[in-house]
Structure 1
Amino acid sequence: MLTYYREYISRFLKAGVSGYLLKKTVGSDLIAALRAINRGELYLHSSITSEVVAGYLGKDRQTMVEDPYEKLTDREKQVLKLIAEGYTHKKMAELLNISVKTVIAHQTNISEKLDIHGRSGLLKFAIQRGIIKITQ
């Protein structure tokens, strides 16, 4: 059952919460949580700690949803950002000091890894992920 909540808990932790308790938490656990948070520490209820650690260490991969963006190399992430910003292959090659063919190869790899084909799809992905921001 806790595996179901892994992403839910992960979102809270990434957002910067100081602790996570279950509804049934009472007494000494509640006091321990408040004291830990008051000291600036993170507090997780004991029944979810092993689940969170397993997720952090990458165990139980069948239940984890892999982020396709993390499959990209650093160079592919750079190329994706430049594509989303509207640069041509030639300009990207100049900026990254690589050949146009290499830029195209990176774009092909990005499309395959993300399963997104076409510049418009890559642009949409980049906006949704916050890789680029739209200013008005």
Structure 2
Amino acid sequence: MFFLKELPSQKMVAGYADAHGGDPDHITDTLVMMRQASLLIRRLETYFASHKLSQLRFLVLIVIDRELDRQSLKPNEIAQRIDVSKPVLTRTLQSLQTDGLVQISSSKSDGRSKEIALTPAGYNRLQQLLPGYFKILAERRAVPEEA
């Protein structure tokens, strides 16, 4: 998260760039991008929270759903697709299971490993969220500065 509401002036950036290196215009553009991304993330988190999910829980659902030729993934496959630690993913999967959004079962090919699949409720929740999610992404340039 980028918490700086008021970005530094071009003069300040130029002074720091002179002292420490870098192109002031590129640095300013990067700061603007970081601010916009932070506002977008906050808006998405608010959206997910209003649907009793988090961005991470949503991402787990969508990562499972996007596998067109498979109905489930192993936890390590999900971990490879999402940038979180294994303990965080384990807790997230358990909470999704508790909420009835995923099913955790023993793998048919290897009884020592688990398979994670969307339940019908998980699939339905994802389908309910996607229109609003894509609307927010499409409107990303319209993120209010007061957020």
Identify the TM-score tier after normalising by the shorter chain: 0.3 to 0.5
Bigger share in strand: 2
Name the larger-Rg structure. Answer: 1
The TM-score with structure 2 as length reference comes to 0.33
The TM-score with structure 1 as length reference comes to 0.36
Identify the structure with bigger relative contact order (alpha carbons < 8 Å, sequence gap 6+): 2
